[in-house]
Amino acid sequence: MRELTQKNLVFGLTGGVACYKIAELVRRTKDLGASVDVVMTSAAEQFITPVTMQALSGRPVFSNIWDSRPNDNMAHIQLSRQADAILIAPASTDFIAKLAHGFADDLLSTLCVARGNCPLLVAPAMNREMWAHPATQRNIQQLREDGVIILGPGHGDQACGEFGDGRMLEPDQLLSEIRAFFQPKLLKGKKVLITAGPTSEAIDPVRVITNRSSGKMGYALAQAAREAGAEVELVSGPVNLAAPYAVQRISVESARDMHKAVMQRAPHSDVFIAVAAVADWYVTNASDQKLKKNQTQDSPQLEFAPNPDILAEVAALADRPFCVGFAAETEQLLSFAEAKRRRKNIPLLVGNLAQRAMHADDTELVIFDEQGHDAWPATDKLTAARKLIQRIALQLEP
C-alpha cells in the first residue's frame, strides 16, 4: 500500500551520528510513495554525504542558502511551500536551540522560520547530558508550545558509549510517526483496549490446544487506533508479530489469563475491541509433567470446561466501554454474525469468513449494527482497520 503517494516531505538533517539512519528512512518513505527533498546543514555533511542522500531521494539535495539552482534563488521559501511536513532528524542540541529562538543563519533554519503553516516534526538526537540540560529542556518546551511535534527521543546505548535518553528514534519508528501524522486524530484522548491473536490452552507443559489466528487484524487495529491518537493497550495471545510502535502490549497465553488482563483494564477503557480467537474450552486435567506417549497404550483422556466469554462479560459491565466484537464464521456469515451481536449485546460486530481471513494479509469485512449490515470490499488489513476506527469514532460521538 503506497499510502504516502502525493505527500511531499522535506527531511532536514543536522549534525549527528544518526544521520546515516536517515538514508534508510528516505528509502522507506519513498517506497510508500512520498517525494522527499533533503536539506542538510554543513555539520550534517560531516556525517553523511549529499551524494548518498541525492541518490536515495532521487532529487537534488540543498544545503547552501546561496545555492543558485532554484530559479529565483529562494529554496528556503519554495521547499516549505510545496511540503506537507518538514521532519528534522537528527535534530542536534544546537539546531533545537536555533529553532526555539527563531534563528535563520543557514538554509535549514531559514526554511523552518519561513515555513508558514507547514507542520514541523523534530526528532532530537544527542548525548543524555545534553538532552537533560535545562536549556535543552526549555527549548523543547518552547517548541511544543509553538506547535512543533517532538518525536522521541529514545532511550538506550549512545554513540558516545553512555546510556540514557537522547537517542534518535529508529527509522521504522520515525516512519510509524510519519504515517500516523497523516491520519486524522479521531480517537484523541481515548483509551482503547484490544485483544488479538489466539489463546493457548495447556495439555501439559509442552503441548497446547489453540486456535488458528495470526493476530494480524488485531495488531492492525492497534496500529490504526494509535495513529488516530488513542492510548492503546493490546492484550495479545502468542503470535509472531512485533508490537506496533507506541502500543502497550500485554502478552498472555490462556483465555483465563486474557480474561484477567482484560477485566483489570476494561473499566478504565473507552473502547474495547475483541479480535482475539479465544479458545472456547480449557483442559481441566492438564498435567504438570510432560505426558509420555509410551506410559500407556491408551490416548490421554482430556476433560474440558468452558472459558469465560471475555467480550460478553465486558459488555455486561455497568459502566461498559464501547464494545466491538469479531466473528469468524465458515458459513452463513450474515445470520450467525448478527445473532452473535445480539447475544453478546454489543453495538458493533465485524464479521468475516474464517477461511478467507485467517493468516491472510487482505480481508473482506461485514459490519453489523442496530441498523443492519454493510459489506466492505476486500482491502489489506491496515486499510480495513483504519476504516473501522473511523466507524467506531463516528458511533462514539454523543
Q: From the CB of 372, what's the least distance to ligand C5P, in Å?
A: 19
With respect to ligand C5P, which residue has the nearer C-beta, 96 or 327?
327
Using rule CB under 6 A, residue 311 touches ligand C5P: yes
Asked if 326 and 196 count as a contact pair (C-beta separation under 8 A), the reply is no
- Phi, psi torsion values for 377, nearest 5 degrees: -65, 160
Which range, of 118-126, 225-233, 303-311, 369-377, touches ligand C5P by CB under 6 A? 303-311
Short-list 268, 267, 264, CA closest to 252: 264
Other CB atoms within 10 A of residue 269 CB: 23
**DSSP H helices in the chain:** 19-31, 50-57, 75-82, 93-101, 107-113, 128-132, 134-145, 171-181, 216-227, 255-265, 310-315, 333-344, 354-357, 381-396
Which range, of 40-48, 94-102, 305-313, 377-385, touches ligand C5P by CB under 6 A? 305-313
Interface residues for ligand C5P in 157-216 (CB under 6 A)? 195
Using rule CB under 6 A, residue 327 touches ligand C5P: yes
Number of residues that make up the chain: 398
Amino acid at 175: L
Which range, of 79-87, 161-169, 287-295, 307-315, touches ligand C5P by CB under 6 A? 307-315
The DSSP secondary-structure symbol of 332 reads -
Q: From the CB of 310, what's the least distance to ligand C5P, in Å?
A: 3
Using rule CB under 6 A, residue 326 touches ligand C5P: yes
Using rule CB under 6 A, residue 278 touches ligand C5P: yes
**Separation between Cα atoms, residue 19 and residue 45, nearest integer Å:** 9
Interface residues for ligand C5P in 235-274 (CB under 6 A)? 255, 274
Our answer to whether residue 160 is catalytic in this structure is yes
- 75-95: buried (b, 16+ CB within 10 Å) or exposed (e) per residue? bbbbbbeebbbbbbbbbbbbb
Q: How far apart, in Å, are the Cα atoms of 283 and each of 197, 257, 324, 326? A: 19, 14, 28, 24
With respect to ligand C5P, which residue has the nearer C-beta, 261 or 310?
310
Q: From the CB of 383, what's the least distance to ligand C5P, in Å?
A: 20
- Given candidates 12, 124, 153, 325, which one binds ligand C5P under the rule CB under 6 A? 325
Which of 19, 112, 118, 160 is catalytic? The answer is 160
Short-list 277, 177, 170, 188, CA closest to 232: 188
Question: How many chain residues are in contact with ligand C5P, going by CB under 6 A?
Answer: 14
Q: From the CB of 274, what's the least distance to ligand C5P, in Å?
A: 3
Using rule CB under 6 A, residue 48 touches ligand C5P: no
Using rule CB under 6 A, residue 152 touches ligand C5P: no
Residues that bind ligand C5P (CB under 6 A): 195, 255, 274-276, 278, 307, 309-311, 325-327, 340
Among all residues, which ones are annotated catalytic? 160
